[in-house]
Amino acid sequence: MTEKEITDRLPELLSLPKETEWVEFKRNNCKSSDIGEYISALSNSACLHKKDKAFLIFGVEDGPHKVVGTDFNPKTEKKGNEELENWLTYLLDPRIDFKIFMFPFQDKPVVVFSIDPAENRPVKFYGIAYIRVGSYKKKLSDHPEKERKIWRNKPANDWSAEMCEDATINDLDPQAVTKARIEYAKRKKASAEIGNWDTATFLNKAKLAVGGKITRAAILLLGKPEAAHFLSPAIGQISWFLQDAQNNPKDYEHFGPPFILTVDAVLAKIRNLKVRFLPLQTLFPIETLQYEPAVIREALHNCIAHQNYELNSRIQVIERPDELVFDNAGNFIPGSVEAVIEQDAPPRRYRNPFLAQAMVNLGMIETEGGGIKEMFKIQRERFFPLPTYQLEKTDEVLVRIPGKLIDENYTKLLISKADLDLRTVMLLDKVQKKKRIHKQEHLLLKKLGLVEGRYPTLFVSPGIAALSGEKAAYIKNRPFNQGYYKVLIISFINQYGHASRADVDKLLMEKLPDIMTPEQKKTKVSNLLNEMANKDKIILNSASCRKPKWILKKE
């Protein structure tokens, strides 16, 4: 873990309602031997809770988690004549990796020990293994049930890559196999070559079979519904539930394999209603769907790829009047959503790498880890609230996709400030959802003029609507968010069935920055239409009229 990753993750750790069994806060230094015992306890607890790291944090008050700073400097601390870090490493068995970070946070010095979880066997300090029970440090020998779990916690095999010994190609759904071939050909851009492969060869190439033997991944994605028994005791099932505003059940349906086809059946059950809102500088209402189908598919595909099938639980999609909730079993391996959004590379570790790679090959997920960021970007372009990840439980991930606007000021900011980076938008999204952000984050938003109020009670600034003089001229000469123009076009076509180039020009020309020449504006509109066509949003229909018109491409 890098210092930047630790700095980015610290606000999430401070927002925990209380100390956990894998996070310990200390106001100031404690005895060297206590630090060693905490490393043992936190490492063993992180193993039990399937966490990627444990943390020992100095400079934070326990309870309110207020950053108060520390004068503890582990780099200069000695134990006898030996440096503290070397002394601790020598007395840990096995010698797990831990790193020490020192940096200012909220203008106060903090120290963070980032500790790897135990693997295969408990971590001991001075010959004794410790564990956390609630917020207390105890000897592991007093909790034999926890010690047994650590010994059994061998590095996980890839459940999805295991063979279904008695399964054959006849247990796969022919329609699903055909769909998989088509999607694989699109992905690999080699349809002629793929057309010459028999089914066994295709399955091997697509990472759905190994040596011609059918894997659990193949049964999940391509198996006939009656082939689900090959996964037992795991449950290969997606359940859709419809609830009213009070969470009372109204309808439900269960869907089994093949998941490559099932996702469309689940999508068809969701009542994706239209919503309307008025953007800036226009009386023309934007009409859009509550949920972008690409976001629904991405969320559902993530559930399939990252489900812990060994917990014998089904994937759930809960539809409520103003939100969709996706629920899959297993902890969130990357640790924090912020880390996933900001990193430039996919995570190093996956729960079902074989299944994830097969889904990449079949075009179900873009990359093993890039789908979450794509969902956030799509919601931002639509000016909607961002997805909310609930990661409090160690065996469950809940993702909420809002289907309505929450704060008009937030929407106006996204429309008018095209240069806001995604991290800043995520902070504004927390503010509009009345979620507490940290003081350092508040100062950043306040400096940018994006929030008002007295910390921690904040709200998105409405100042954008009251601009005048030079500021108003500035807004008039800067482009709106690219998504703003796209939504206007889609809304127009939704209302009138089609749009000619003249219609689009009339719709957008006055909304493009005044600083642009008429020719630059026309070029901008042309590029925008081409981009939307390339992304399968709209198509040019010239079959029944002399002047081609843009229409929506059917899902």
d(CA 327, CA 397): 6
> What percent helix, strand, coil does the chain show, rounded to 5?
40, 20, 35
User: Which tens digits make up the pLDDT trace of 110-142?
Assistant: 999 999 999 878 999 999 999 999 888 999 999
| Residue 534, pLDDT score | 77
CATH dotted code for 3-152: 3.30.950
Peptide bond into 233 cis (omega under 30): yes
Taking the CA atoms of 303, 307, 311 and 312 in sequence, report the sign of the dihedral they define. Answer: positive
279 falls in which pLDDT band (50, 70, 90)?
Answer: low
Q: With helix as H, strand as E and coil as C, how does 13-26 read?
A: HHCCCCCECCEEEE
What is the average pLDDT across 40-55?
A: 91
302: its two tokens: 């993530």
Angle at which helices 518-534 and 501-508 cross, to 10°: 120
d(CA 553, CA 550): 9
User: Which tens digits make up the pLDDT trace of 147-191?
Assistant: 888 887 655 578 999 999 899 999 999 999 999 999 999 888 776
Q: How many residues does the chain have?
A: 555
d(CA 429, CA 444): 14
Give the CA count within 13 Å in the CB-facing half-sphere of 398. Answer: 11
67 falls in which pLDDT band (50, 70, 90)?
Answer: very high
d(CA 206, CA 172): 14
| Residue 297, pLDDT score | 94
- With residue 407 as reference, give the H or E element that holds it: none
CATH dotted code for 480-552: 1.10.10.10
Q: Is the pLDDT of residue 521 over 70?
A: yes
What is the average pLDDT across 2-28?
A: 84
How many other CB atoms sit within 10 Å of the CB of residue 21?
Answer: 23
| Residue 281, pLDDT score | 54
Could you tell me the pTM of the whole model?
Answer: 0.64
Hey, which bits of 142-223 come out as E strands?
Answer: 209-210, 213-214
| Residue 367, pLDDT score | 59
Contact 89, 57 (CB under 8 A): no
308 falls in which pLDDT band (50, 70, 90)?
Answer: very high
Pairing of strands 396-402, 323-329: antiparallel
* Domain definitions of the chain by residue range: 3-152, 480-552
| Residue 350, pLDDT score | 72
354 falls in which pLDDT band (50, 70, 90)?
Answer: very high
d(CA 30, CA 28): 7
Beta bridge partners of 57: 25, 112
User: Which tens digits make up the pLDDT trace of 442-489?
Assistant: 888 998 899 998 888 899 987 644 443 444 444 454 556 677 788 888
Q: Whole-number mean pLDDT of the chain?
A: 86
User: Which tens digits make up the pLDDT trace of 522-548?
Assistant: 888 988 888 888 776 888 876 555 678
d(CA 45, CA 23): 9
Beta bridge partners of 317: 240, 326
Phi, psi of 331 (to 5 degrees): -75, 165
Give the DSSP per-residue string, 281-316. T-SS-EEEESS-HHHHHHHHHHHHHH--GGG---EE
Give the DSSP per-residue string, 30-52. --HHHHHHHHHHHHHHHHHTT-S
Q: Is the pLDDT of residue 349 over 80?
A: no
332 falls in which pLDDT band (50, 70, 90)?
Answer: confident
Read off the DSSP letter of residue 468: -
**Helix segments in 223-258, DSSP class H:** none
What are the b/e assignments for 166-179, b being 16+ CB within 10 Å? ebebebbbeebbeb
How many other CB atoms sit within 10 Å of the CB of residue 242?
Answer: 18
22: its two tokens: 């894998």
